[in-house]
Copies of this chain bind each other. A is one copy, B any other.
Amino acid sequence: MAERKIGMVLFDGFTAQDFIGPYEVFSRVPGWKIAIIAKMKGLIEAEGGLKIAATDSISEDPEMDILFLPGGSGINDLLKDSSFLEFIRGKGIRAEYVTSVCTGSLVLAAAGLLDGFRATSHWRSLPLLKLFGVDVSADRVVADRNRVTGGGVTAGIDFALYLVCLLEGEILARQIELGLEYNPAPPLRCGHPDIADRQTIEREISRTSGIYKERERIIRGLISRGK
């Protein structure tokens, strides 16, 4: 089993589940060493106020075989942070795999790492990923050469099991899926617009409309300036 360095990049306003699903899977792979990377070492604040400690800072230029980005409301600030996007781009073009969950793919796209690739995002943000010219898919996990992206939030678990299966084989991936008791039974059965009722979809679109509109404005600005 190959040793691999996993660079999981966090930022204030990330979605905790986007990150922890993959963390829980990756940390069970023998030989995979996880670095939790942020602009500065210290505590990073997730949505909801939870604080997680970064192990490495961007300025230390940590090595990584796999680049991973979660999503969250905090990506709106990242999309405006050219030095952060430059760091992501630099790591991504050298990485063995470039990966994301949820709206993390918008950051990869803004860093130019999804040009000419097929990718996915949270269902709510798929139109925004399209603005970048990415070949957008609504699938829960999308792999195109060395880009592997997951859909919204909980899709990170499926994404991570897929990646481990791809890189370390099905035997280990099966064992991790069993260890995580990943035999889900969503109680409301409405976890995607394809299966949810109209009112729930409209409520969720309305709840997120402020952040969505701000995000769209930022992305259109990036694109008009040639990224």
Q: Interface of A with B (CB < 8 Å)?
A: 15-17, 20-21, 23-24, 27-28, 34, 36, 43, 47-53, 102, 122-123, 140-141, 151-155, 157-158, 161-162, 165, 170-171, 173-175, 177-188, 190-197, 200-201, 203-204, 207-208
Contacts and interface: CB of A to CB of B under 8 A. Distances in A.
A184 to B, nearest CB: 4
Given A21-B17, A27-B47, A192 B181 contact: yes
Contacts of A122: 181
A183 B152 CA distance: 10
A178 B191 contact: yes
8 contacts: A16-B27, A17-B23, A17-B180, A51-B52, A161-B187, A179-B204, A181-B192, A183-B191
Nearest to A165: B187
A204 B178 contact: yes
Identical chains in the assembly: 2
Contact of A187 (B24, B173, B192): B173
A190 B174 contact: yes
Given A24-B15, A53-B51, A154 B153 contact: no
A48 to B, nearest CB: 3
Nearest to A201: B178
A174 B154 contact: no
Given A181-B191, A186-B177, A188-B165, A23 B36 contact: no
Given A24-B17, A181-B123, A43 B50 contact: no
Given A20-B17, A48-B23, A53-B53, A196 B184 contact: no
A207 to B, nearest CB: 7
Contacts of A171: 200, 203
A198 to B, nearest CB: 11
